[in-house]
Amino acid sequence: MRRGRGARSNHTGRFEAESREDFDDGWEGLGDLDVFKTEVKEEAARTIITRNDSPDISFDRSINAYRGCEHGCVYCYARPTHCYLGHSAGLDFETKLYAKTNAAKLLEQELAHPHYEPKVIALGTNTDPYQPIEREYGITRSILEVLERTSHPVGIVTKSALVVRDIDILERMAARGLAKVVLSVTTVDRRLARAMEPRAATPEKRLEAIGTLSDAGIPVGVMAAPIIPGLNDHEIESILEAAYAAGAREAGYVLLRLPLELKEIFREWLATEFPDRAQRVLSLLQSMHGGKDYVADFGLRQRGRGPYADQIAKRFRLALKRLGLNVDRHVLRCDLFQAPVLAGQQMRLF
């Protein structure tokens, strides 16, 4: 176990020709002395807006300023994407990071395309836009500056209190119906949070960020995600109550997803952190996926099916109704968009 890291291993990715595996040769090759330090490579991306046509996702375009995420959330469904880069979905995902330093410039170019039609851009769909290295690189803030300048709507999902740093931009955008923020709160148990999300903000800091954003007039919601049966599902009501008290007025949830390499990563973590509950957690999860750890079908991958999945959904709905969450959903405006004019480009007449 490595202090401050989520994954327990760094197994070879599925696209590699050779396989590597850690083992203890008796010469202190493993353990706390074997520290995985964070490495950041600056990347010149070729495109910045990613599009999807998934019917169970509420947006069709997103931006990820970084690849990999230092928060180290052991359950992160994005971990397997690191294998496309020749890395492991394990420790590599949280230690070998990529910063898209030309993101703002690319965004301006893509928004300036004559056929571009504005729709809400989501930040934080694959990796957290406010993970620790954002303090140094400021790529997310530069993206927000472009979106504000062009009056383009944006929705942010994060589990970092760093989002309040950009409250000046978000407040101005929100006043024009152009921004909303969702804080991901997986648990209100600080010890469980530290085990699952070793380098993310504490639950208290996330709830405090919800309050700060709400007080500034920025529409803010909470995402109880992921719901892990037998581990944090008993906290559904507690999470929603705490978020509502802090100022959140919208809420959603997603069931734990275990695609590809993540199955083994999560199992390893569960066996070391909660050996007494591991079998029950996996059994409940499989009961919602037809006996499998995960089913990738649209509509099922985020909710599951069966009695236990129905129970989670019902509890969530009842808590929403009791608290008055999701009564008013903020729909962001797309009609204010003004395409940027690039250097040497002729301004539009209309």
Do the domain assignments include residue 333?
no
- pTM for the whole thing? 0.91
Are 6 and 73 within 8 A, CB to CB? yes
User: What CATH code is carried by the domain that includes residue 217?
Assistant: 3.20.20.70
Do the domain assignments include residue 34?
no
Q: Identify the pLDDT of residue 1.
A: 60
Calpha distance 137→154 (Å, rounded)? 20
- Helix axis angle for 167-175 and 139-149, nearest 10°, is 20
Phi/psi region, residue 68 (left: phi>0; alpha: psi -120 to 50; beta: rest), is left
Q: Identify the pLDDT of residue 22.
A: 54
Calpha distance 200→69 (Å, rounded)? 10
- Helix H or strand E segment including 218: none
Are 98 and 40 within 8 A, CB to CB? yes
Do the domain assignments include residue 92?
yes
Q: Identify the pLDDT of residue 30.
A: 46
Do the domain assignments include residue 144?
yes
- Helix H or strand E segment including 282: helix 278-287
DSSP states of 24-48: --SSS-SSTTS----EEEEE--S--
Q: Domain range holding 202?
A: 39-257
Do the domain assignments include residue 217?
yes
pLDDT tens across the length of the chain (350 residues): 677 898 888 987 666 655 555 544 444 444 444 557 899 999 999 999 999 988 888 889 999 999 999 999 999 999 999 999 999 999 999 999 999 999 999 999 999 999 999 999 999 999 999 999 999 999 999 999 999 999 999 999 999 999 999 999 999 999 999 999 999 999 999 999 999 999 999 999 999 999 999 999 999 999 999 999 999 999 999 999 999 999 999 999 999 999 999 999 999 999 999 999 999 999 999 999 999 999 999 988 999 999 999 999 999 999 999 999 999 999 999 999 999 998 766 555 55
Do the domain assignments include residue 162?
yes
Calpha distance 250→268 (Å, rounded)? 34
Do the domain assignments include residue 58?
yes
Do the domain assignments include residue 311?
no
Count the domains in the chain.
Answer: 1
Work out the number of other CB atoms within 10 angstroms of the CB of residue 118: 19
Work out the number of other CB atoms within 10 angstroms of the CB of residue 350: 2
Prior bond of 80 cis (ω within 30°): no
Find, among 182, 298, 197, 172, the residue nearest to 243 by Cα: 182
